[in-house]
Amino acid sequence: MCVSPSGSSTILTGSWRPDTPLEMWDLGTGKALETVEWKESLLTSQQPCLLYASQFSKTPGNRYIAAGGSGANEARVFDRQAGAMTSHGGVGSGTALVGTVAGMARGVFAVDWSPVADLVAIGTGDGSVRILEVVERKKGDKEDESLASGPALEEISAPKAAEEDEEVEAEPERDVWDEAKDGKSDEE
């Protein structure tokens, strides 16, 4: 759950359920403002994404939403200013999908936006962190002229795959519980 940092009374909820997992609510009235459409996974249609984390971006206007979870093991970023707000029974569709990060080995358990840029960190159950930037595409960009204009995700950093020959030296095990009980460590 995340309260909009812009001072509005909007709450974002990411729920561990297959139907309507991402919603925005009015804090004052308790009424649903919008259900953000979370379509089936890009990689597997058999398993929904059950959300553990959701957050508004922290830059002025809180334009973006990031959310992720387990099951389909994916994270998505949405643009709150992209869609036309249509209302039927208080629930509309004012957001649009910017991009999806899919195919992770474990679920997404944390998302956090930078307070000064449209950068989001996505933390997964395997201990990896991906950093993504929302960039503005312009129609006719050299990279791919077939893409529509608007926001898109660009990966800044991804988990490094360990080399087969690379050995990781583990720290010796310490029993911190016994140290806390005794008030001293083995090194004293």
Q: What is the pLDDT of residues 10-20, one digit of tens each?
A: 899 999 988 88
pLDDT number for residue 170: 44
The mean pLDDT value for 87-111 works out to 77
pLDDT number for residue 168: 41
pLDDT number for residue 171: 45
Q: Tokens 């310490």 belong to which residue?
A: 174
The mean pLDDT value for 99-123 works out to 93
The mean pLDDT value for 27-45 works out to 84
pLDDT number for residue 41: 76
pTM: 0.72
> Residue 157: is its pLDDT beyond 50?
yes
Q: Which CATH superfamily is domain 2-182 in?
A: YVTN repeat-like/Quinoprotein amine dehydrogenase (2.130.10.10)
In the three-class reduction of DSSP (H, G, I as helix; E, B as strand; rest coil), residue 118 is classed as: coil
C-alpha pair distances (Å), 5 with each of 8, 56, 63, 115, 123: 7, 8, 11, 10, 21
pLDDT number for residue 18: 86
pLDDT number for residue 142: 53
Describe the chain by its helix, strand, coil percentages, rounded to 5: 5, 40, 55
Phi and psi based region of residue 130 (left: phi greater than 0; alpha: psi -120 to 50; beta: remaining): beta
The mean pLDDT value for 174-181 works out to 45
Q: Report the C-alpha gap between 59 and 165 in whole angstroms.
A: 43
pLDDT number for residue 78: 94
Q: Report the C-alpha gap between 87 and 96 in whole angstroms.
A: 15
C-alpha pair distances (Å), 29 with each of 1, 20, 178: 17, 20, 50
- When pLDDT is cut at 50, 70 and 90, the band that residue 57 belongs to is very high
Q: What is the pLDDT of residues 141-150, one digit of tens each?
A: 555 544 455 6
**What share of the chain has pLDDT > 90, as a percent?**
38
The mean pLDDT value for 32-46 works out to 81
